[in-house]
Every structure is written in C-alpha cells, then in structure tokens.
Amino acid sequence: MVWLVRHGESIGNVADANAHATGAGRLELDVRDPDVPLSDTGRAQAEALGRYLASLPGGERPTAVLSSPFARALTTAQLATADLDVRVRTDERLRERDFGAFDGMTRAGIREQFPDEARRRDLLGKFYYRPPGGESWADVALRIRSLLATEALRHDCDRLMIVAHQTVIMVFRYVLEELTEQELLAVDREEQVANASLTRYEADADGTLHLASFNDVDHLLDQSEDVTEEPDAAPQQ
C-alpha cells in the first residue's frame, strides 16, 4: 500500500490566496521556498492526520515514511507520525517543482513581466512548459520514475506514506497509472489536491498498484478541521 499526502497549509498557500485576491503580481514572502513553514491551520491539519493514523489498527498504519525535505512537507510528516513508531526519511526527489525565475509570482505577474514566456507556455501547455531556470511537470516525472526505480519503495515497508507537494502527487498519478498528458490535465482541471489530503494505492497479488482513493479529506472533516486547496507559493502553471 502507498499513501500520498500533500503537506498541510503553508504560509505560502496563504500568501498565494492573498495575492490572487488583491491582483498582486508577487506573493509577500520573505523566506526561500524550501523553508516556507506551515500555517497554524496547516499544523492543525497535520495533527488531525496524525490522530487518524494513530486510530488505525496496527496492521493498517504506515510502516515507513518518505518526505520531501522542504519544511512544510517534513513538518507535516513529523506531526502526522508523532504517535507512530516509524522513522521519517527525506528524499530530495520529492521536493516541490522548481519554478525558476517565476518563483513567488502569480500568473498575472508573469504575464505582465514575461509576456513572451506566457505565450510560450500557452503554446507548449502546462505539462511540458519549463519556466526559465525551472522545471516542467515532465521533469518532475523523471524524478518520480527515478524514485520508483530504486529500492526506496521496498525498503522496510509494506505500507509506505509519502509526504510531498501538489504537483508531485499529480505526477505520481501520471506515472503509476500510466496516464496520458491529456488524462492527467483533465484530472488537474477537475480537482485541486487539498492540504493534508490522502491519496491511496493498494497492491494486487503481483504487486501492481491501483488507485483506491484520491484527495480524501474525511479525516479532516471528521475532526472539524478546515479543508484548504490553495496551490503552493508559485504560479499556477
């Protein structure tokens, strides 16, 4: 079994919501992306996830945890496993997509300051477009394929929980389910990955993983925690 967890709400998510509400071209953040912390709501979401995991029978709890090294993901993983006898390991291949020169900018800001790049993005599409100095979704897929090709998913675990970011979780779906570009983008248009949500894959007899649930937030609703879906502190590419 593999669980994919998006980190709890971060101050970057809050800054993004504020920037879009005011029409600003750039988010008000004074920390680099790897250091963006959880908001108070995000910490509460991670703790609610932890209570849910601790309530599961022993045979259903995660036996291993891999996390993005970015603060918002790692803190989520640590809070969610505080009452579990499990080690949280980090893997840089799970980090957030690199937005390069567009880091911390809104779509409106990009179109104003980089109109040629905005037109190039419109031409190439969301999956293959790479911002200057940054990564495309296809680049993230290479990282995920590298992770899946190693022993990382088989090391000391029958039930693995991965804590990462919105784009990373979407690209996991692309790789694990062998989706086409169009199928992946259709899913992305229909549903935003919520903070501290659970996406679960179960293995059949030959070890093939099949999607069991996507973007589940029942553990948050059951504990009356806020459900938030803002993208990370970067443009919606």
Domain range summary for the chain, segments of one domain joined by +: 2-221
pLDDT in tens, 83-113: 998 999 999 999 999 999 998 888 889 999 9
SS3 228: coil
Distance (Å, whole) CA 76 – CA 91:
15
Amino acid identity of residue 150, one-letter, is T
Interacting residues of 92 by C-beta distance below 8 A, sequence separation 6+ = 68, 69
pLDDT in tens, 172-186: 999 999 999 999 999
pLDDT, position 66: 95
SS3 236: coil
pLDDT in tens, 132-164: 999 999 999 999 999 988 855 555 457 899 999
pTM of the complete model: 0.92
Architecture of domain 2-221: 3-Layer(aba) Sandwich (3.40)
pLDDT, position 218: 94
pLDDT, position 237: 47
In degrees and rounded to multiples of 5, residue 172 shows phi and psi of -55, -45
